[in-house]
Amino acid sequence: MNIQRWIGRREENWQRLNLLLKKVEEKGLKSLRSREIRELASLYRSVAADLARARSQQVGKTIIQSLQSLTTRGYSQIYQGSRRQEWQAAIKFYLWGFPSVVQQTLPYIVLATALFVLAGLVAWWYSWQDPSFMSLIVPERLISQVRDDHKLWMGSIVGIEPLASTDIMINNISVSFGAVAGGITGGLYTIYLMLFNGLLIGAVGTLVGQNNLAYPFWAFVFPHGSLELPAIFFAGGAGLLLGKAILFPGKYRRGDALKYYGSLAAQLVYGIVPMLIIAGIIEGFFSPNPAIPDPVKYLAGMGLFILLFKYCSRGN
């Protein structure tokens, strides 16, 4: 290989890459036009290949160091810059995008919430009227523990908080993802999960109420439930969105409806994951902690719910 001729042919590309990198380093990647971004990526790959060739041909230490510097700067701006953009996009989504999606999909979230609440009221009514109804929903060991021992079951978390918190997070995420995935059944499985969980909380609420344990029970539920239950309702809304796309695409073709409503559902799922993680931490470490007075737990739960409501109501 004629080294001087090769350098002469390639040097223009090196200089052009250097100019583009200087612009990005001074003003950021957004300062480039789309054509220049494509050119930057192409030149980076070309110069990386030139560096490999220069090393194999022993072109010279100065040229190799120069190409090494160019490729290092290129890698930093292209890949680390894209990661910065991803983080910026994620922050922007959680600040503004997620509240906007919640507002767009509010009718479906309200419907999921209504199914849950209606089932809870039905369970509450029938559990008071017919004691045997409760045993159809609530495990017998819990009924026996509350009725016979007059104890709640949350004390078992104390002492194993990290393990319990992890298990709770996984369970909550599984339930929520199940509600979303239920959309592929036309929303039927989503509806079932909303109704079943509503029946369960209604029956348990009646059980603790009949045995004078309602106050400590709801003190346990309020702190994490202020995030966990809305997250499940959001997931239910996402599942109903998918069900609508399948059964009632409306003005869209079914494939287009799935893309549109599926995108909204995916954004809801993306938004609820941090809520479920935080709720799991609270449920594992804060809610069952006997050292924290019950009034403080009630206040914490109400405070978190008010903050969530304000967050979801914020404008674009």
Residue 250, pLDDT above cutoff 70: yes
Cα(29)–Cα(241) distance, integer angstroms: 37
Q: Mention every residue, 6+ apart, whose C-beta is less than 8 A from residue 82.
A: 29
pLDDT of residue 294: 93
Residue 223: CB atoms within 10 A of its CB come to: 28
Q: Return the structure tokens found at 148.
A: 């016979």
pLDDT of residue 161: 46
Residue range 27-35: average pLDDT?
Answer: 77
Among the listed residues 199, 217, 225, 206, the one whose alpha carbon sits nearest the alpha carbon of residue 151: 217
Q: DSSP secondary structure string, 32-46?
A: S-HHHHHHHHHHHHH
Residue 256, pLDDT above cutoff 60: yes
pLDDT of residue 164: 46
Write the CA distances from 282 to 173, 211, 221, 234, 311, integer angstroms. 15, 26, 10, 19, 19
Residue 77, pLDDT above cutoff 60: yes
Residue 206, pLDDT above cutoff 70: yes
Distance from the Cα of residue 106 to its chain's centroid: 17
pTM of the predicted model over 0.85:
no
Write the CA distances from 189 to 93, 183, 240, 243, 300, integer angstroms. 29, 7, 10, 10, 33
Q: Return the structure tokens found at 24.
A: 């990005």
Residue 8: CB atoms within 10 A of its CB come to: 10
Confidence band (pLDDT; 50, 70, 90) for 191? very high
SS3 label, residue 316: coil
- Mean pLDDT for the chain? 84
Highest mean pLDDT among 12-26, 100-114, 266-280: 100-114
Residue 228 in contact with residue 276, Cβ under 8 Å? yes
> For 45-60, what is each residue's pLDDT tens digit?
888 888 888 887 777 7
Among the listed residues 66, 102, 210, the one whose alpha carbon sits nearest the alpha carbon of residue 148: 210
In the chain, domain spans: 3-88, 105-312
Residue range 143-161: average pLDDT?
Answer: 68
